[in-house]
Amino acid sequence: MNRSSSNLKKMHTLGKKDAISIFLIKYAVFVFFFFVYLAIAIYKPVFLNPANLADILLTSSLVSFVSFGLSIVFAAGGVDLSFPNIAGYGAMLSTYLMIEIGYPVWLGVAAGISVGLLIGSFNGFMVTRLYINSFIATLGTLFILRGFLYWLTGGQSMQILPQGFEYLGRGTILNVRMPVYFMVGVFLLCHLFMEKTRWGRQITLVGGNIEAARLSGVDIKMMTLLAFMICGLLSPLSGMLQAASASAAAVDIGDRFMVPAFAAAMMGTVIFQGKHVILGTLFGIIFVESLNNAAFILGVSPEIRRVVPGIVLLATIAFNYYAKRALSEKRIHAQ
């Protein structure tokens, strides 16, 4: 009795203070971003050089496609581990078709994207029809694709890529590399899809509260399948642009996306508490890649730089838990 009455009093007295602390918890990530960037910029002003910023944008853009795809799968309550190999398979298949078979560039790119869509559908099928946990199912796909990759190429890398294809990765418009434009375009498409279309909102609902989604008549299986298909569709873009900008495609071309994309997509899910995931993911990618870049400028050894995205991931998850707990406590008080 006593306790509840004191709680009642508290509810009335708290208000403005609560609003401030909710605001702080919600935007703590950005405060954190700001201080990190400030520290790096003060310590190494080179970091803010236009050439360096352009480099960060370029490396971010290569990872961005897999990250957007992954964050949409996250939003639907799944995980896709196969994206590095979807990216690799898309890149290897398209370059193989262009070099060995002599396909024109557009057809090679289209083939790469469609095979990604096919693999994504296969993932979605396993999750929605065979009811396999998405983590296990896509782990299986990861290995199957690795086998296919070696089968296709015999482990050899593709070296001399067609000019038109290389232009996609190395060409510039107004001194900005092409992948950056693709990133902006895909970002806008994904963002509008997740925010403004019915399917995008339904995907978010399925991941956020599957029971509510079921009760409101959302086709859960269809939306989960759709999320995996989108991830499959976007992943080859990262692989192909990576190949085009490096002028070579190797079997393990997608492996380097694994950890940064995971960290970025996880940040994207967390930054706005499960809303605006694509925007959040964009922040996440740029943050992870800036840290990587800053570590490079600061002369950190490459071995340590490999640990950085993993730690960012862990820190993001930890932050997520505190924010969730703190916010739910505050909301209960505020009501």
Partner 1 sequence: MVQKAYNWNRFIANYGLLFAFLLAVIVFSLWSNNFLNWGNIQNILIQTTSLGVCAFGLTLIMMMGEIDLSYAGLTGMIGAVMLKMIMAGYSPASVVVVCLVIGIASGLCIALLVVGLGMSSFMVTLAAWFIYMGLERFIGHGVTHWIYKYDESILKIVQGHIGPLPVPVIIMFALFLLCWLFQTRTRTGQYIVAVGENIEAVKEVGLKAKLIKGATFVAGGLIFGLTGLIETLRIGGSMVYSGRFLLVYALGAVFLGSAAFKAGKYNFPGTLLGALFFYTIINGLTLNAVEFYYIPLVQGLFLILAVAITTVKRGEIEQVQF
Q: What gap in Å lies between CA 238 and CA 43, rounded to an integer? A: 32
Residue whose structure tokens are 């590095």: 84
Q: What gap in Å lies between CA 53 and CA 47, rounded to an integer? A: 7
Residue 14 CB burial class (10 angstroms; 0-12, 13-18, ≥19): middle
Which one among 14, 107, 110, 144 touches partner 1, defined by CB under 8 A?
A: 144
For partner 1, give the closer residue by CB, 15 or 310: 310
Which one among 210, 248, 297, 327 touches partner 1, defined by CB under 8 A?
A: 210
- Per CB under 8 A, contacts with partner 1 among 263-292 are 266, 269
Residue whose structure tokens are 């557009």: 106
For partner 1, give the closer residue by CB, 56 or 220: 220
**Is residue 3 within 8 Å of residue 326, measured between CB atoms?**
no
Which one among 20, 298, 311, 334 touches partner 1, defined by CB under 8 A?
A: 311
Identity of the residue numbered 157: S
Q: Does 318 bind partner 1 (CB under 8 A)?
A: yes
Stretch that binds partner 1, among 51-59, 229-237, 283-291, 304-312 (CB under 8 A): 304-312
Query: Closest separation between CB of residue 325 and partner 1, Å?
Result: 8
Query: Closest separation between CB of residue 142 and partner 1, Å?
Result: 7
Secondary structure (DSSP) of 141-184: HHHHHHHHHHHHHTTPPB----HHHHHHHH-EETTEEHHHHHHH
**Is residue 247 within 8 Å of residue 166, measured between CB atoms?**
yes
**Is residue 292 within 8 Å of residue 60, measured between CB atoms?**
no
- Per CB under 8 A, contacts with partner 1 among 69-108 are 74, 77-79
Q: How many residues bind partner 1 (CB under 8 A)?
A: 55
Displacement of CA 198 from its chain's centroid (Å) = 21
Which one among 42, 130, 174, 215 touches partner 1, defined by CB under 8 A?
A: 130
Residues that bind partner 1 (CB under 8 A): 74, 77-79, 126-128, 130-137, 139-151, 155, 207, 210, 220-221, 224, 258-259, 262, 266, 269, 301-304, 306-311, 313-314, 317-318, 320-321
